[in-house]
Structure 1
Amino acid sequence: MLRKISAPSLLLLIVLVGFPQISETIYTPSLPDIAEQLQVSGNRIQLTLSIYFLGFAVGVFFWGRLSDLIGRRPSLLWGIAVYGIGSLGCYFSPSSEWLLVSRFIQAFGASTGSVVTQTILRESIPDDKRHGMFAQISAALAFTPAIGPLLGGWIDQWLGFRAVFMTLIVISVAIFAYTWTSLQETRDAASITKTSSFAVARKMLTDGRIWAFGFLIGAMNGILFSYYAEAPFIFIDFFGLEPGWFGLLGICVALSSIMGAMLSKKLLSRLTAEKIIVWGCLTASAGALILVALVLIGLQSSTISMAFFVACLFILLLGVGMAIPNCLSLALVQYKDVVGTAGAVFGLGYYLLVSLITSGMSYLHNDSLLTMPLYFLCLAIVMILVSKALLSRSTVGESLQTKRS
């Protein structure tokens, strides 16, 4: 008989899933400053975001697999410790090469907060409550990428970019202490199937739904973090915002993701999760299309032009906020017996895609306002096609099940 698994507090789950995102975006207002101080190009310094997701992808696989072997709690604690070491390396970085290596280590450790916490959610929250819980956490997490630039912008403006990395060192110590004192082990050893990661990966590679959900989650996160990579050069260099005020702007943008997640939760009473994903992708593509048109018409370095630019981003990220919680909730429903390992393999795949997409933004960076909107529009169009294919497959499956009944 399996023991009853008690769910950790919502606050702890939000902290554990949220700190990797804060770490990703907290130094984005400093990107122009870091490029100048380390005497490298904007394209090269944007690679510190891409390398973060590469380290994240490798770490997701490692910690997800390890959590099945040694437990969720120790995997989280070890990962947070590695994250602190990486943050320390970022603080002392004398060159862009050193910073790239340190960001990889930092991301490798931080990834435990994503994959292990999602595993905890999937194994400790009943199926009928999991969609809503993911929506709640997604709404709260929409603020974490915004908290990063807000906090980092003012720290950079007053104390310099190295103080931003010192802040991450302090955060790592605080989260380690919080996890140590508040998290109990949720893995039930008796429920873990002794399946190799290669066997799970082989099964997932032939699963069309996994490919679809992996692409959607990777593309949406790629859009979100490509925005945080490119936005400092748009709002600070073109529109002339100070780093601190740019960080404040991030809260306005984050509201769209929060509203999207809240809208998703409300729509679950009337629509299937797959249909909400389609509507989210359509909304995101509409925002990207309007943004392209706005830039083609012509934007000036003025407050009014900036307001229109932000409004279009709001629509785009509203759609992302609607779709992501449902993708995360549905992705691994058929892998409950190996959820830790499946989460590791799945996370490896979609975070590699996030790294690829943010690398694409870095490669395309050319100080043009049109580059980012066009890039997002292309991604959003493919997202629509994939989400509609998912919906069609789900509808066919339901019809077959009804006939059998």
Structure 2
Amino acid sequence: MTTTAERTAAGGRAQRLKFVLILGGLSAFGPLSIDMYLPALPRMAEDLRAADSTVQLTLSAFIAGLALGQLVLGPLSDALGRRRPLLAGLVLYVVGSVLCAVSPDAWLLVGARFVQSLGAAAGIVIARATVRDLYSGTAMTKFFSTLMLVSGLAPILAPLLGGQLLNWTSWRGVFVVLAAFGALLLAVVAFFLPEPSPVRVPARLGQVMRTYGRLVADRTFAGYALASGLLFASMFAYISGSSFALQGVYGLSPQAYSVVFGVNGVGIVLAGQLNGRLVGRVSERVLLAWGLALGVLGGAFVLASAVFRAPLALLLVSLFLLVSSIGLVMPNASSLALASHARSAGSASALLGVLQFVVGAAATPLVGLGGPGTAVPMAATMAGFAVLALVAFLSLTRVRQPAGLVA
């Protein structure tokens, strides 16, 4: 019996394209579910008669659910295979999206978003683990970079689609569209995604905890995971605060904000494709370092622009630099972190996602500390986490020289 990895190698470009589209769609659950409703946040607060901070909790709840869901579903996919947990998660996502669409108040919407996020977690964690099932080494990094072309379209199209939907429907219609997207992916996975992982490891709690403990104790894995997670937190500060900052402080309309958000998404796609072309000629570690340095540079300019109330154009260019760095950091950090963990790819993928979304959830409330009239808290949070990401990479993943060697 051949494995999916063997069939992928034999199937050539058509088979690869199929997996790019399916796994890219699954990877897009996070940005689609977050970004599509961002232009509607101010309107949601008004419609539900809730404070801005309460409505922002719908984002925090979603991020927390993504973290918890990945923590559970990653090891389950190592034990049960990828398909069954994935199909169950997609069903839960559709149910949660429908509950969001009919929620009568903000707190019920927060709970519905949590349910929705548990389902979305299945797509994200299992897509990443499936890439590790199918590929290794440079080929894995190239595939992660290719996924950025598909999943990177989500932050481009989602706010644009969300902004346009608001022209003829309420924010509830956004969640109806998300439910339809989940149902479509459920059908595609059911009919077109075979089981990619023949490896089975025990799902007993003790074994799962030992696996997580081994991963956390792996200094190199922790360094790559923290680097990507901390930069992702900078991205989440942008996601949660930019709609209020750019619309409330700088006066952009929901449609103009959607265009700005989409342009930054183009930066992620372009950086990811550049990464795919360079990998093999430049090491993944060097490319990761370049991406983190670009994030720090962009963060510094964002903070300076906000503090000194620089023209909007300078702030937008700075945001573009920081957000684009994701396209360099995520493929290389994911590939380097998963490289040595083929048998526990689901658990390793889960821990990567947990670090990203837990730190992201912690970063989100920080952007609102200064009130609605300033972009400085958002900018400071973005810059600070970008710096921490670079520090984690440099301190935890250093290549040590063997004892006795003289530089």
TM-score by length of 2: 0.90
Cα displacement string for residues 121-158 of structure 1 (whole angstroms, at most 9, x for unaligned residues) = 10112433111111111233222122211111111232
The runs of 5 or more residues in structure 2 that have no matched partner are 9-17
One-letter code aligned to 1:354: G
Cα displacement string for residues 274-298 of structure 1 (whole angstroms, at most 9, x for unaligned residues) = 2222221111111121222223333
**Higher deviation after alignment, 24-33 or 258-267:** 258-267
Counterpart position of 1:320 = 326
CA contact (8 A) 2:231 2:295 kept: no
Counterpart position of 1:252 = 263
Cα displacement string for residues 156-179 of structure 1 (whole angstroms, at most 9, x for unaligned residues) = 232111111111111121111111
The runs of 5 or more residues in structure 1 that have no matched partner are 300-304
* 1:346 to 1:258, Cα distance in 2 relative to 1, 3 A: closer
Is 1:298 the counterpart of 2:298? The answer is no
Q: CA deviation at 1:21?
A: 1.7
* 1:155 to 1:346, Cα distance in 2 relative to 1, 3 A: same
Quick one: which of 384, 389, 393 aligns to 1:383? 389
Is 1:65 the counterpart of 2:72? The answer is no
| 1:245-284 map, 5 Å | 245-284=256-295
**Higher deviation after alignment, 127-136 or 347-356:** 347-356
CA contact (8 A) 1:64 1:343 kept: yes
Counterpart position of 2:240 = 229
The count of aligned residue pairs is: 392
CA contact (8 A) 2:68 2:354 kept: yes
Counterpart position of 2:15 = none
* 1:346 to 1:319, Cα distance in 2 relative to 1, 3 A: closer
Distance 2:376 2:189 in 1: 43
Distance 2:346 2:239 in 1: 29
Quick one: which of 290, 300, 315 aligns to 1:289? 300
Distance 2:181 2:371 in 1: 31
Q: CA deviation at 1:264?
A: 2.2
CA contact (8 A) 1:215 1:353 kept: no
Q: CA RMSD in A?
A: 2.2
Counterpart position of 2:13 = none
Counterpart position of 2:200 = 192
TM-score by length of 1: 0.90
One-letter code aligned to 1:359: P
Distance 1:371 1:3 in 2: 50
CA contact (8 A) 2:93 2:120 kept: yes
One-letter code aligned to 1:250: F
CA contact (8 A) 2:82 2:130 kept: yes
CA contact (8 A) 1:44 1:362 kept: no
* 1:298 to 1:338, Cα distance in 2 relative to 1, 3 A: closer
* 1:4 to 1:261, Cα distance in 2 relative to 1, 3 A: closer
Quick one: which of 311, 316, 326 aligns to 2:317? 311
| 1:80-229 map, 5 Å | 80-188=90-198, 191-194=199-202, 196-229=207-240
Counterpart position of 2:62 = 52
CA contact (8 A) 1:55 1:104 kept: yes
Counterpart position of 2:25 = 15
CA contact (8 A) 2:237 2:381 kept: no
CA contact (8 A) 2:294 2:325 kept: yes
* 1:162 to 1:330, Cα distance in 2 relative to 1, 3 A: same
* 3-state SS of 1:9 partner: helix
Counterpart position of 1:352 = 358
Cα displacement string for residues 97-133 of structure 1 (whole angstroms, at most 9, x for unaligned residues) = 1011000000000011111111111011243311111
CA contact (8 A) 2:4 2:197 kept: no
CA contact (8 A) 2:64 2:114 kept: yes
Distance 2:392 2:264 in 1: 26
